[in-house]
Chains A and B, each alone.
Chain A
């Protein structure tokens, strides 16, 4: 035997078994080499693999195992020592690596297992979230539906549209088979089917309101599931054996307008309800979900609010239409009233002139007629004519006065006058009539009553006369007493005249006059009518007394103009009555003659009666008027110089002439120029004669021109004797006279 270093196998080579081992090892090695390649390939493919170096380790282990098995192939036959060494090395390495890997795997495998657990957990979580999201989505969709429904419902204020829209939208949102609204009838004892979704024309189907199921629904504010067989839900004839879907009913509060009281808002005891019934499609196995029920409840509330808004709007529209109608009617009435007033004013204006003229002609001619020789019968006739026409004239004047008072166009003619004289005159006027009726009239003037007062004498007398006249007229017997005194502030405030607030001041006083009679008296309810125009107390006694019924109305207006108050006190029928009035009068300053009335007092016994020696220069182009004026002045005693032209006038005028009367209505000639030149000629005031213009022009321009050039007065032609007399006396007293033109 040769000795070699070869190592002999353990047991002799069995040919077949050896072959099999040989092949298996080969394949093992192949597998061992290809597994890491596959691993690397697939790991490279996948992005996520955390344990790379473990893989390396594993790969190394496998490679070495493969190497071992590969090297094993050589050991089946005789092999050299190197091969054995390599084999051993490989085996050793393999052992090392595999041990290391085994140890590593101990750490790794629990981790890998836990990964799996986490994966399962996450999957569960994902499933749960999915479910929740589904829920939220459903809710959000519900909310969107509600908003949309509300918007649709509230976008109209028409009742029918609201209800129809509600049903349509609900039907769409919830995919209902049928949706119906039952409204309570007028009597409130039944519910009537008013609106349905599918059926176009609901028959007037009613159910009594006190069914238990209905009560159940009405008593709760939630949507209640009801049986499909109850009368409110049986809207369609049941066809076939289909399973009817679930039905839900909810109440819709109907707010009556009168329910809008802030305090009892939560009180629902007297509310009326409508019933809304919703049916799911039959044979659908759908069920009512909670969110759907909530949706229905919300919608029912919204509908209630929308209906109430619609009702309010209807109400306000109706009220507005009513107001507009009333406005139009009022406007028309106002315009008619204005037209009537204008017509009346026009009529009165015409009447003013047209009626007075013939009236005065009649009165004048009748009085003239009286002066002539008449037979007694004729005289009687003429007196009757005169009396009647005087009465008529008074009536016309009264009516015209009233209308002027109404317009506010009447102004008081203020002047200083003797107060006591007024009363005495009234007394004188009334005494004859009173004595005929055997009435006793007494006048009582308080001692502190001022002798002179400032006011409208004529109208004050008219008022007193009217009041006293009434007293006499309505008294058949007894006495009339007239008292007048200054009213002190305490007695001014009378409970019967609450709106009368007198304000006394320094130079004014309040005159209070009381006229008491013992006549028939007046019943208290007639008193307010007394002062209204044309109304008379309806008793036979008064009706026969005549009169237009205007007297007291006019008195009241005069008294009001004088900032006073008039009223009547009576104790009843048959007990007489007292008429009282208070007027405000002014107190004149300490007797200053020059302040006495500026109204021309034409009385031939006052003023200067003779102007003897008064030198007057008359300038007039017209010979005839010149002569007439001269005649006037000569008759009054003046010394008259005449001038027929402006030059002559300027030539003749001297400081001896006290007055220059010049005619300025000659066209083309400027009388004003002369005035200016006279002014220039006499610079000293006391030397200059008074320049007075005579003119026939009544316009303001003439008067203004005269004043502008420095004339001292203007007189309107034609000048009567009395007028000339008074003019001259005024002129000489005051050195100025501007007659109101």
Chain B
């Protein structure tokens, strides 16, 4: 496949991610921060996000498994996750976290468990998508092309 086609596919794919709400404007900001002095900025941040989120999700699963659930701790974890996801623009994860926090305030264990499932699901989805995205980028770079800049005017 030639570079132009690959670039076109990348652009389409990225657009689809935005359309479907997986990513929001914040992700674009990250991409803008990437320049010659910082060529892998986005990948670094996203990798950090993945590590952070895995840990947080494990902590959350354990915390909700307890006999007496410490909602304060759960809330703190969810808050962290929300912060991270909004920093990189993972919109759906962030929204799921917001809903999660509401149920934490109500101390509703059933709903919290449901939310946790939801968050996990969203997280894996967006992780999948981002990994695909990065793979496409690597392919383009390997083929000698440059990654096209996204310009979205809303």
Binding site for B on A (CB under 8 A): 360, 364, 367-368, 371, 621-625, 627-628, 631-632, 634-635, 663, 665-668, 696, 717-718, 720-721
A635 to B35: give the CA distance in the assembly, Å. 8
A367 to B38: give the CA distance in the assembly, Å. 31
Interface size on B, residues (CB 8 A): 30
A718 to B24: give the CA distance in the assembly, Å. 11
A634 to B52: give the CA distance in the assembly, Å. 22
Kindly report which residue of chain A lies nearest to residue B24, judged by CB atoms: A718
Judging by beta carbons under 8 Å apart, are A721 and B152 in contact? no
Judging by beta carbons under 8 Å apart, are A631 and B33 in contact? yes
- Which of these, A360, A667, A718, A721, contacts B87 with CB under 8 Å? A718
Among A364, A623, A667, the one with the most B-chain Cβ atoms within 10 Å of its Cβ is A623
- Contact A667 to B75, CB < 8 A, known contacts A624-B52, A628-B45, A635-B38: yes
Judging by beta carbons under 8 Å apart, are B87 and A625 in contact? yes
- Contact A624 to B88, CB < 8 A, known contacts A364-B154, A368-B152, A667-B75: yes
B87 to chain A: which residues have CB within 8 Å?
622, 624-625, 627-628, 718
Stretch at the interface among B62-70, B76-84, B107-115, B128-136: B76-84
**Is residue B3 contacting chain A, with contact meaning CB distance below 8 A?**
no
**Is residue B7 contacting chain A, with contact meaning CB distance below 8 A?**
no
Judging by beta carbons under 8 Å apart, are B15 and A368 in contact? yes
Judging by beta carbons under 8 Å apart, are B86 and A696 in contact? yes
In the assembled complex, the CB of A249 is this many whole angstroms from the nearest CB of chain B, namely 98
In the assembled complex, the CB of A374 is this many whole angstroms from the nearest CB of chain B, namely 14
Kindly report which residue of chain B lies nearest to residue A633, judged by CB atoms: B33
Q: How many A-B residue pairs have CB under 8 A?
A: 75
Give 16 pairs: A residue, B residue, CB < 8 Å, sorted on A.
A368-B15, A371-B151, A622-B87, A624-B83, A625-B87, A627-B87, A628-B45, A628-B87, A631-B38, A632-B29, A632-B33, A665-B83, A667-B75, A717-B86, A720-B26, A721-B32
Binding site for A on B (CB under 8 A): 15, 25-26, 29-30, 32-33, 35, 37-38, 41, 44-45, 48-49, 52, 72, 75-76, 79-80, 83-84, 86-88, 151-154
In the assembled complex, the CB of B9 is this many whole angstroms from the nearest CB of chain A, namely 13
Judging by beta carbons under 8 Å apart, are B80 and A622 in contact? yes
Judging by beta carbons under 8 Å apart, are A367 and B153 in contact? yes
B35 to chain A: which residues have CB within 8 Å?
635
A721 to B83: give the CA distance in the assembly, Å. 18
The 5 closest A-B pairs by CB, nearest first: A624-B84, A625-B87, A622-B83, A631-B33, A628-B87
B30 to chain A: which residues have CB within 8 Å?
628, 631
Judging by beta carbons under 8 Å apart, are B80 and A621 in contact? yes
Judging by beta carbons under 8 Å apart, are A721 and B29 in contact? yes
A665 to B98: give the CA distance in the assembly, Å. 14
- Contact A628 to B88, CB < 8 A, known contacts A623-B52, A721-B29: yes
B33 to chain A: which residues have CB within 8 Å?
628, 631-632, 634-635, 721
In the assembled complex, the CB of B93 is this many whole angstroms from the nearest CB of chain A, namely 11
Judging by beta carbons under 8 Å apart, are A624 and B79 in contact? no
- Which of these, A371, A696, A718, contacts B29 with CB under 8 Å? A718
A720 to chain B: which residues have CB within 8 Å?
25-26, 29
- Which of these, A628, A635, A667, A717, contacts B79 with CB under 8 Å? A667
Among A622, A624, A625, A721, the one with the most B-chain Cβ atoms within 10 Å of its Cβ is A624
A621 to B44: give the CA distance in the assembly, Å. 18
A635 to chain B: which residues have CB within 8 Å?
32-33, 35, 38
A628 to B151: give the CA distance in the assembly, Å. 20
B49 to chain A: which residues have CB within 8 Å?
624
